Every structure is written in C-alpha cells, then in structure tokens.
Structure 1
Amino acid sequence: MTPISLVAPRKLLIGGGALAKLPALLAEFGLSRPLVVTDPWMVSSGTVERALAPLKGAGIATSVFSETVPDPTDTVVQAGVEALRAGDFDCLIGFGGGSPMDTAKAIAILAAAAPGQSMRDFKVPASADRAALPVICVPTTAGTGSEATRFTIVTDTQHDEKMLIAGLGALPLAAVVDYELTFSVPARVTADTGIDSLTHALEAYVSARANSVSDIYAQAAMRLIASNLRTAYAEPQNRAARAAMMEGATLAGLAFSNSSVALVHGMSRPLGAHFHVPHGLSNAMLLPAITAFGLEAGLPRYAEAARVMDVAPAGTPDAEAGAMLLDELRALNEELGVPTPRAYGIPQDRFDSLLELMAEQALASGSPGNNPRVPSTAEIIALYREVYGN
C-alpha cells in the first residue's frame, strides 16, 4: 500500500469570535512582530481593524501592506517582499479573501528565494518548500480554502498566466476562521466563493489523487456547503448558514490540499488571467459543463457525491444520481445568477483568439491530468466554446 502524505496547518481556530484570540495564537508560537497583508478595500472600509484592534490591545505593534490586487501578481509579490525586508518582522498575517492570503504566502516564498529567482521559478512542477517567515491566515470569505492549503496562485504579468505554486512553503502555520467576518460579504461574492468551495470539495473527491483521508474532508465539506449555500446567499445574516459555509470552505481546502483539484481549476486559471474573472466565478462558470464532460469516466464518485450532498437519495443508481448532480449544479448556477463568459462581457473575438493558448496553459498546470476523464487540447477548446454561452 502506498503511504498517504498529509499536510495541514499546525493550528486552526474555527468559530464565531475566534479573531479575538489572534494575539494569543501569535503568542503560542512565540511571534510578536507581524506584517499584515491585505487589500485596499479592507483598509478603506475599516474591516482590517477587526484584526488590528485585538493585536494593538495586546500591545503588538503592526504594519500593513495593502497593495494586494484581486488576482495576485508577481509585481505585487515583489513589492511585498520589499516591504517585508524594510521592517523587522517575524511573521505574515494574510487578512482577507483568497488574494491577500495567497499574496502573503507568495511573499514568504519569494523572500526565501535565492538571489535572482522570481515567482516563475516556483511554478508547478517546481516545489516551493521554503518560506522566509511563517504565515497566519485570516479568511474573510467562505470560499478559497487558502488558509488550509499548500498552494498559492500568482499571475505572471509578462506572460499573462496564472501560475500554480505548490509546496510546504505555501502552507500556513495557523489560521483563524471566524464566520462573523462574512456577514458583510456581498451576495455576488457569497455565491462565487461558495461555488468555489464546492468545486474544491467535488474535484478533490473525484481526483485521481484522492485518498481515504482527503475523502473524509471532501465529504464533510460537500455536506455543509450543499445544504447551506443557498441560505447564506439569501439570508446573509443567518449565523448557522455562515458558520457552516466557513467550516465547509476550510474542510474543502484541506481536501484538495491533500488530494488535488482537476479540470475545472485547470481551465479556470487562464480564464481569470486573460479576462480578470474572479477565481470563484470562473470556477462556477465551468463547473456544470466540466462535470458533464467527466461524468461517465468518474460516475461512481460523482454519484456518491450527489448522495453525500443529499441531491440524490441513498440507494439511487449511479447513472440516475450522476444526472441529478448535473441538474443540481446547473440549477445552482441559475439560482445564484452565475453568468456565462458572454454575459459577463467577454468579447467573443478575443475569447476565440485565446482559446488555443488558454488550453495549453490549462494543460501545463497539471490539474487536468487529475480529472476522471483527461482531456486533449482540442477537447479543452471545445469545452471553452461550450461554456462561453453561444
């Protein structure tokens, strides 16, 4: 039997009000000089004060790097490294959605790099196993799962490519997962990040690299997300739904960090890089069609996912359960207002002109190779055309 390799943060604090324990968490690890990595909106809205206030109250001096952009770029990461080196810091705190957390991870990796190395040197299949400083993640959305994964995504601005960076250097030391931070999240973000987390769990479950432990995380995540996403979207102040979504997103992160994502993510990254579609939304655009593409090849797993999500009753035959899963994913996109790339405003001529490059970039990421049905370049192009929305 091949040994199972598992990774996870050393500590996860999960639950309402957990953010108040951030100073104590730092103290447990002997840390006291954090650089907080966030984005401009978190600063202008005052949301970052939710993290800064307890730190200041505990006498912990903080500095803030807030140049993070929605799709983290290598240039922003380099600026973050310079900010890190300009001060005397012993850790990084990634506060916000996936972008600030991914940026904090990438800063830690690049700050440990040899002279002359760039983020592109750490692109998969390279392994980014060293970090200059530990990273603590504080997610403010229930979606990316970045607080629990060994991955970060960075856009190479020269090649207009979203690069998957993987390794122990990207694994947070700890995370504070406080669902109270999601009460003010807009409905669109709730929908997109929610479907993102469902995609993480489903792809981890059907991936060729799934294992018995990642399955436990994935199943638990699918149960929580499937039964609470619509409520969190329709009732943003519903504490039980928000708590379930936050826990589900973290469990989904643990699932795919210990398994892998697959074709949806492989095709999602080029869509985001070239057209600046938010990551969760690009996953949502793709999920029904990509699931249909791989359904027959991975039918037992997809069918069991439908039963776990309570989309299909226990005992439903696989073929019927798989069809019910597809119906549910399509209905979810419709109910949560997920647009096609066409409806999103992506011009068809530019979309068509980039199809071959996007397909090549998707395959180069390695994620499509984990799919139940591994696609050719031509099949990826055909899937992009189908998803576009003609």
Structure 2
Amino acid sequence: MQSFSFATAAQILCEAGAVQRLANLCRERGARRVLIVTDPGIARLGLLDDLLPGFSTAKVAVAIFSDVSADPHENCVLAAVERARHIGADLIVGFGGGSSMDVAKLVALLAHPDNAQTLNQLYGVDQAKGRRLSLIQVPTTAGTGSEVTPIAIVTTGETSKMGIVSSLLLPDLAILDAVCTLGLPPQVTAATGIDAMVHAIEAYTSKIKRNPLSSLLAREALRLLATNLDQAVHNGGHLAARQAMLLGACLAGQAFANAPVAAVHALAYPLGGHFHIPHGLSNALVLPHVLRFNLPMAQADYAELAAPLLGDRLQAGDRSSLAEQMITELEQLTQRCGLPARLRDINVPGNCLEQLASDAMLQQRLLVNNPREVSHDDALAIYRAAW
C-alpha cells in the first residue's frame, strides 16, 4: 500500500438543530469574544437572529461581519481581519457558504495576536505559520465542503483567484445542521449538490494523493448525494434529505482535502472569474465534458462510481457500459435539476473560449491531479464541447 497522510477537522457535529447551541459550543472552547463571518443574504434573511440571544445567556460577546461576497476579494478578507482585531475576538465562526467559511479561516489565522504574516505571504501550499484563533464552521449549503478543508480561495484581481492551503485552516468544529439549509432555492441546492459530487468524483480519480480513506469517503459521499439530491431540490423542506446532503458534502470535502480535485475545477474557476458564474454551476457545466475527456484513463474508476451514483437503476454491463452510464446520469442530472446545460445558455460568448482555456492552464496546482494530462488545446476543446 502506498504511504499517505490524512488530515481533517478535529470534530464534526452532525445534528439537525445543533446550531441553536452555537453560543454554548463557543463558551465550551473558552471563547469570550466571538466574530461571526457571514454574507449579506444570511443577515438579511435573519438566519442569525435566533442564535444571538444565546450568546448573552452564555455571557459571550458576539459581533457580526456580514460583508462577505461571492468569490471574496482580498479587501474583504482584510476588512474582516480588522474587525476581528478591533473587538479582540478569540474565536471565529464561519456561517454561510464556501466564501464565508473561506474568509473565516483566514481571519482566524491573520487575527491571532502572535501572527506576523500578511495575506500575500500565505498563498500557495503550507506557507502559513504559527497559530490561529479557535474556529467553528457552520455550512448553510451542501456543496463546498469548506467546513472540513484546509483550503481558502481568494480573488486577487479582476478575474484571477489564488489558493491558500494549510492544515492550520482546518477548524476545531464543523456543525452540520440541515435546518440552516432549508431556505435554499432549488437551483442553488442543485448547483451546490453537484459541486459536492464533483469533489467526490475528482477525489476518487485524483492522480497523486488518492488513498484508501479518501476513496472510501468519496464513494459514500457520492451515494448520499445522488440518493438525496432530487428530493432536496424538488422537496426542499425534506429535512432528512437535507441532512444527508450536508453529510455527503462534508465527506466529499474530507476526501478532496486529502486527494485534491483536478480539471473540472481548473476549467470552472475561469468561468467564475470572468463571468461571476456561481462555482457549483461552473462545475456542473464543464463536468460531463471533462469526464468524457478523461475516459481513456479513468474508465475503471468511473465504472466503479456508477453503482453509488445510480443505485438500483444501474444496468449490468462491462466496464465501458458502466462508465458510460455514470457520465450519462450526470448529464441528465443537471437537466433534471433545472440547471442550464450549455455555456451559451448563461451568456458566455463563444469568442472568449480561447481566453478561458489560457486561464485554465494557469491552474497547474489542480491540473497535475487529473488522471489525463490536459493541454491548452484540450482545455479549448472541452470548453467548445460545453458551449
């Protein structure tokens, strides 16, 4: 067996309604002053309103930073860090989607009194040093898995993003509470759910760091997500389906945090950077075309994933047939969930595909994990197939 290491969150609490105990969970970790990092939508919908009285009861001071935008820019991170320092926060809570949780990770690191690093010094793998503040993550979408990943993505320019990867970004506690996801619209539920599926699939086929534990988690994640996505999308109040989706996204997050994602994400990032397409939808749009490109090298893996994806709908066949059923199911799933099927459907101009391909090639951190080597011409062909 190939040697490997595996890192994840110190504790995971999977329980509907658990977020109501957030204040006490902060106090149990010795917190006196807490900063909750979230986005304007969460604040506007009042999703934190029921939680705040608990902090008074627990005698824990709390403040809210609610200015996190999708694809958060460096300025957003620095503003949140400044707020945490201003109140003397000793625990950070990320409450929201992947963007809020990513910002919370960096705030916990940069706002620690002993930290001397700047944000620019963190980019890359294992550049972060020292200590961080206590960190609790509460996902409100079943998609990114950011609550259990050591990765934060930051927008650094007009269309560019950079990643920060460090085990220091793993939280002390991840709270999986499906009540926090009940208000998600069907299309957001679908896009984030398919994003989580991509995490599982790419972890399962990751070229360099794939290991038995990541593969085990990826298969179970895909089974949970595939079994419950339709119900979560079309019957959004189904709490059991929502809780299963959260767990599936978390398991997929654990898998890809240790066996990193690849070409689907590499080609999705430029779509978000140039056209501000939500990350989950960007993944969904390029997913089947990347899978078909990878098929010559990944057929056996895709055949193995057909069973957890299709369940009792899987038809017996050889490896080629099973892999084809797997890809076809994902193509149909996108349409079944009401998501756009082509890049042109979301107004991506055909004359931008060359630039997208060039930008995708900058994502070598991800492309090295792909089961098949991707050239510029390959990336362009995939975009054209998706267009």
Q: TM-score range by the shorter chain?
A: over 0.9
Q: Distance in 2 between matches of 1:384 and 1:256?
A: 24
1:114 Cα deviation from its structure 2 partner:
6.7
**Counterpart in the other structure of 1:151:** 151
Aligned length: 383
**Counterpart in the other structure of 1:198:** 197
| Structure 2 residue ranges without an equivalent (≥5) | none
1:144 Cα deviation from its structure 2 partner:
0.8
1:124 Cα deviation from its structure 2 partner:
2.5
Q: Distance in 1 between matches of 2:134 and 2:26?
A: 11
Corresponding letter in the other structure for 1:371: N
1:62 Cα deviation from its structure 2 partner:
0.4
Alignment of 1:1-390 (within 5 A): 1-111=1-111, 117-119=118-120, 121-125=121-125, 127-128=127-128, 130-157=130-157, 160-208=159-207, 209-310=209-310, 313=314, 316-339=317-340, 340-349=342-351, 351-352=352-353, 354-363=355-364, 366-387=365-386, 389=387
More displaced stretch, 319-328 vs 122-131: 122-131
Corresponding letter in the other structure for 2:139: P
TM-aligned CA distance change 1:33 to 1:205, over 3 Å: same
TM-aligned CA distance change 1:274 to 1:115, over 3 Å: farther
Question: Residue 363 of structure 2: SS of its match in structure 1?
Answer: helix
Contact 2:314 2:325 in 1 (8 A): no
TM-aligned CA distance change 1:126 to 1:7, over 3 Å: closer
Contact 1:270 1:361 in 2 (8 A): no
Q: Distance in 2 between matches of 1:357 and 1:313?
A: 38
TM-aligned CA distance change 1:125 to 1:88, over 3 Å: closer
Contact 1:229 1:245 in 2 (8 A): yes
Corresponding letter in the other structure for 2:192: T
Question: Residue 143 of structure 2: SS of its match in structure 1?
Answer: coil
Question: Residue 163 of structure 2: SS of its match in structure 1?
Answer: strand
Q: 1:130-168 CA distances to partner (integer Å, 9 max, x unpaired)?
A: 4531221011111111011111111102x5212121111
More displaced stretch, 371-380 vs 130-139: 130-139
Q: 1:219-266 CA distances to partner (integer Å, 9 max, x unpaired)?
A: 110110011101110000112211111111111111111211111111
TM-aligned CA distance change 1:116 to 1:60, over 3 Å: closer
1:362 Cα deviation from its structure 2 partner:
2.7
1:201 Cα deviation from its structure 2 partner:
0.8
TM-aligned CA distance change 1:320 to 1:148, over 3 Å: same
Contact 2:195 2:284 in 1 (8 A): yes
Q: 1:162-219 CA distances to partner (integer Å, 9 max, x unpaired)?
A: 2121111221111111001111111111011000111111111111121011112111
Q: Distance in 2 between matches of 1:24 and 1:116?
A: 31
TM-aligned CA distance change 1:27 to 1:115, over 3 Å: closer
1:314 Cα deviation from its structure 2 partner:
8.1
Contact 2:303 2:322 in 1 (8 A): yes
More displaced stretch, 104-113 vs 256-265: 104-113
Q: Distance in 2 between matches of 1:263 and 1:144?
A: 16
1:80 Cα deviation from its structure 2 partner:
1.0
Contact 1:123 1:166 in 2 (8 A): yes
TM-aligned CA distance change 1:168 to 1:59, over 3 Å: same
Q: Distance in 2 between matches of 1:177 and 1:290?
A: 30
TM-score (norm 1): 0.93
TM-aligned CA distance change 1:59 to 1:39, over 3 Å: same
Question: Residue 309 of structure 1: SS of its match in structure 2?
Answer: helix
More displaced stretch, 130-139 vs 222-231: 130-139
1:129 Cα deviation from its structure 2 partner:
5.0
Q: Distance in 2 between matches of 1:274 and 1:109?
A: 29
TM-aligned CA distance change 1:129 to 1:219, over 3 Å: farther
TM-aligned CA distance change 1:353 to 1:261, over 3 Å: closer
Question: Residue 324 of structure 2: SS of its match in structure 1?
Answer: helix
1:25 Cα deviation from its structure 2 partner:
2.2
Contact 1:106 1:154 in 2 (8 A): no
Structure 1 residue runs of 4 or more that deviate by more than 6 Å after TM superposition: none
1:7 Cα deviation from its structure 2 partner:
0.9
TM-aligned CA distance change 1:146 to 1:130, over 3 Å: farther
Q: 1:253-306 CA distances to partner (integer Å, 9 max, x unpaired)?
A: 111112111111111112111111111111111111111111220111111011
| Structure 1 residue ranges without an equivalent (≥5) | none
Question: Residue 61 of structure 2: SS of its match in structure 1?
Answer: coil
TM-aligned CA distance change 1:133 to 1:228, over 3 Å: same
More displaced stretch, 159-168 vs 238-247: 159-168
Corresponding letter in the other structure for 1:203: E
